[in-house]
């Protein structure tokens, strides 16, 4: 439906010398200065038209609880902002609120979160609130997507020109209209996928970190309690903050591999398969192809643990249809089956019988 060839505008010279998120933190682990940029999700618009706490507020609270927060500014997150308006504020060095101006605040930042582009897309959608029908002009939609691409690219360039060492975290968007009729959901999800692909590629090319939210929000439609509104509940904003915090948190030790099921006392033969030893109860293995969430389940809901990286390999002990289909990787951890993000393989029946008699 939507065909968009994404062209990257980030010049490679900006990537040289970019400090990794972990090393950058250790340089400023007692002096976090956090600046939030973006639209109503950063500003904290509620599902029923009030102003509240957005995901940056909960991230800042976590930094404060860790005893490392030196400053927090979210004055430049505005409801209704498009990607162009975020960029214009930086270029025009505007001052909103009681601070020294956006360029000065960005120059002091150690951590910057950014979300922009959803309003560019939403303005192209025409939703009949009586029937739930969704229509849009494809040419205008592609134009809007191209505009988001250019504006976000220029925004990252502008930030790095002001502060080349700040760590930048860019949010991917969730489906804001899951309550609309099922026949329109594929179209909405495809448009969302194009937008998120643009955002993710810009993040990768610029050395920023992309934070995916689509799976988390889709897994709990209760985060969007008002069918007539696209904004999250407070619990939804907290869930998004948790996704950011997985990457931004002060202490970032290597996460241990998920715990595996305990073997019975009786001995089983050592069976090698594709570079690993098969364990009792194992039915296959999972290769991560793109960053994807690792989950636990509690009270019928998913809780994000961390983001698995491309190239990681995990033993698989089961599969069920819960939450759209998930692999059990042991210890109460799950990975969602998404083509292009994970690849599952299973040993021969003969090998499985040896470890699962």
Mean pLDDT within 304-309 = 84
- Give dist(CA 257, CA 236) in Å, integer: 28
What CA dihedral angle connects 17, 161, 159 and 170, to 10 degrees? -30
> How many Å apart are CA 147 and CA 6, to the nearest integer?
11
Report the first-to-last Cα separation within the chain, whole angstroms. Answer: 49
Mean pLDDT value of segment 74-85: 96
Alpha carbon 8 to its chain centroid, in Å, reads 20
Q: Which residue has the higher pLDDT, 58 or 352?
A: 58
pLDDT tier at 105 (50, 70, 90 boundaries)? Answer: very high
pLDDT at 291 over 60: yes
Residue 62: pLDDT over 70: yes
Task: Summarize pLDDT for 272-284 with one digit per residue, the tens.
Answer: 888 788 888 899 9
pLDDT of 299: 85
Say what the pLDDT of residue 269 is: 78
230 band by pLDDT with thresholds 50, 70 and 90: very high
Q: What is the mean pLDDT of the chain?
A: 86
Output the CA–CA distances (angstroms, integers) from residue 300 to 137, 152, 178, 238, 296, in the order listed. 39, 37, 19, 18, 10
**For residue 125, is pLDDT > 90?**
no
Query: Rounded to 5 degrees, what are φ and ψ at 302?
Result: -95, 145
pTM surpassing 0.75? no
- pLDDT tens-digit map of 129-183: 788 888 888 899 999 999 999 999 999 999 999 999 999 999 999 999 999 899 9
Cβ distance 226 to 199 under 8 Å? Answer: no
In this predicted structure, which of 15-29, 172-186, 286-300, 322-336 has the lowest mean pLDDT?
15-29
Rounded average pLDDT over 212-239: 94
Q: Provide the percentage of residues in the chain whose pLDDT is more than 70.
A: 87
pLDDT surpassing 50 at residue 19: no
Q: Identify the top-confidence range among 103-112, 221-230, 290-299, 305-314.
A: 103-112
- Please check the confidence at residue 199 and state whether its pLDDT lies above 70: yes
Q: How much is the pLDDT for 262? A: 55
Q: Is the pLDDT of residue 37 over 50?
A: yes
> What are the domain boundaries of the chain?
12-248, 272-355
Instruction: Determine the pLDDT at residue 39.
Output: 97
Q: Sorting pLDDT into bands at 50, 70 and 90, what band is 73?
A: very high
Predicted confidence band of residue 260 (pLDDT cuts 50, 70, 90): low
| Predicted local distance difference test score (pLDDT) of residue 8 | 39
Tell me: pLDDT of 261 over 90. Answer: no
Range ranked top by mean pLDDT from 6-10, 68-72, 129-133, 181-185: 68-72
Please report which confidence band the pLDDT of residue 16 belongs to, taking 50, 70 and 90 as the band edges: very low
Q: What is the pLDDT of residue 324?
A: 86
In the structure, what pLDDT confidence band is assigned to residue 305 with cuts at 50, 70 and 90?
confident
Looking at residues 325-346, what average pLDDT do you find?
A: 92
Q: What CATH superfamily classification does 12-248 receive?
A: SGNH hydrolase (3.40.50.1110)
DSSP per position, 167-228: EEEEEPPP-S-TTS-GGGHHHHHHHHHHHHHHHHHHHHHHT-EEE--HHHHHT-GGGS--TT
């Amino acid at each position: 439906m939507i065909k968009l060839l994404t062209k990257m505008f980030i010049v490679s010279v900006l990537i040289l010398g970019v400090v990794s998120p972990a090393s950058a933190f250790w340089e400023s682990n007692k002096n976090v200065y956090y600046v939030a940029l973006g639209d109503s999700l950063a500003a904290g618009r509620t599902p029923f038209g009030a102003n509240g706490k957005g995901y940056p507020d909960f991230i800042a609270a976590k930094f404060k609880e860790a005893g490392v927060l030196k400053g927090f500014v979210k004055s430049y997150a505005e409801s209704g902002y498009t990607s162009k308006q975020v960029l214009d504020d930086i270029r025009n060095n505007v001052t909103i609120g009681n601070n020294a101006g956006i360029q000065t605040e960005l120059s002091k930042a150690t951590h910057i979160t950014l979300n922009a582009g959803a309003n560019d897309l939403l303005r192209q959608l025409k939703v009949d609130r009586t029937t739930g029908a969704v229509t849009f002009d494809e040419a205008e939609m592609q134009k809007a997507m191209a505009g988001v691409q250019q504006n976000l690219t220029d925004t990252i360039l502008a930030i790095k020109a002001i502060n080349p060492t700040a760590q930048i975290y860019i949010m991917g968007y969730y489906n804001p209209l899951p309550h609309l009729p099922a026949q329109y959901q594929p179209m909405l999800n495809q448009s969302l996928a194009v937008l998120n692909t643009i955002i993710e590629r810009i993040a990768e090319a610029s050395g920023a970190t992309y934070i995916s939210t689509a799976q988390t929000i889709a897994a709990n439609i209760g985060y969007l309690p008002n069918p007539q509104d696209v904004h999250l509940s407070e619990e939804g904003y907290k869930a998004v903050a948790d996704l950011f915090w997985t990457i931004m948190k002060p202490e970032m030790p290597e996460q241990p591999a998920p715990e595996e099921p305990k073997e019975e006392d009786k001995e089983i033969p050592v069976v090698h398969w594709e570079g690993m030893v098969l364990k009792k109860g194992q039915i296959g293995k999972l290769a991560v192809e793109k960053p994807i969430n690792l989950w636990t389940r509690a009270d019928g809901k998913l809780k994000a643990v961390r983001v698995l990286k491309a190239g990681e390999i995990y033993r698989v002990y089961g599969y069920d249809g819960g939450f759209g289909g998930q692999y059990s990787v042991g210890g109460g951890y799950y990975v969602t089956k998404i083509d292009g993000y994970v690849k599952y393989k299973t040993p021969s029946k003969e090998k499985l019988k040896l470890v699962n008699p």
